[in-house]
Amino acid sequence: MKNLRYFLCLTFLLAACAKKESEGPCIGIIDFVGPPSFQLTFIDQDENNLIENGHFDSNLISASINGFLYENQIVDFDTPNFENKVILPTGLGNEGKNTWILRLSESEIDTLVYSLVLTEVKQDGFCGTESFVTTASFNGNAIDLGGSNGYDLLINKSIE
């Protein structure tokens, strides 16, 4: 009986003191690629690109995220398959709800809202943060992020 008590105590101590892999110090950083940027193509009823045809002046288009002006170029002209699209990075947001305000002209303002989840990851001594967009909407309309286009959005604008 005495041996059984020693055995149980020893087992308990070893289990309590065992080094858990996920709780050890980080020996390196995992650089996870976050979710892709939103890529917005604005078209009219005839499917003409409204930036390419000059309806929206790319030099006047501006964007802010969570109240901060985004000062990088947001219209891509050179990258194949991204020409004349507005590119809004998801990784600039905070955990939780994020709001892009997009000013296409003096009278045309759009809103893209998305929720970002950050997850701490530890794997074999390496640490990092993964991010995921869980929901998104454009001007109040839900975006299907799992669809065939994902983050590549075709936005129809009624032009008179």
All structural domains of the chain with their residue ranges:
21-156
| Cα end-to-end distance, the chain, whole Å | 91
| Residue 30: strand, helix, or coil | coil
Rounded CA-CA distance 132/48 in Å is 32
Mean pLDDT of 9-29: 57
Residue 137 binned pLDDT confidence (cut-offs 50, 70, 90): very high
Share above pLDDT 70 across residues of the chain, in percent, rounded to a whole number? 82
Rounded CA-CA distance 126/31 in Å is 10
Encoded tokens for 74: 């947001």
Give the Cβ contact number of residue 115 at 10 Å. Answer: 15
- Higher-confidence residue: 116 or 17? 116
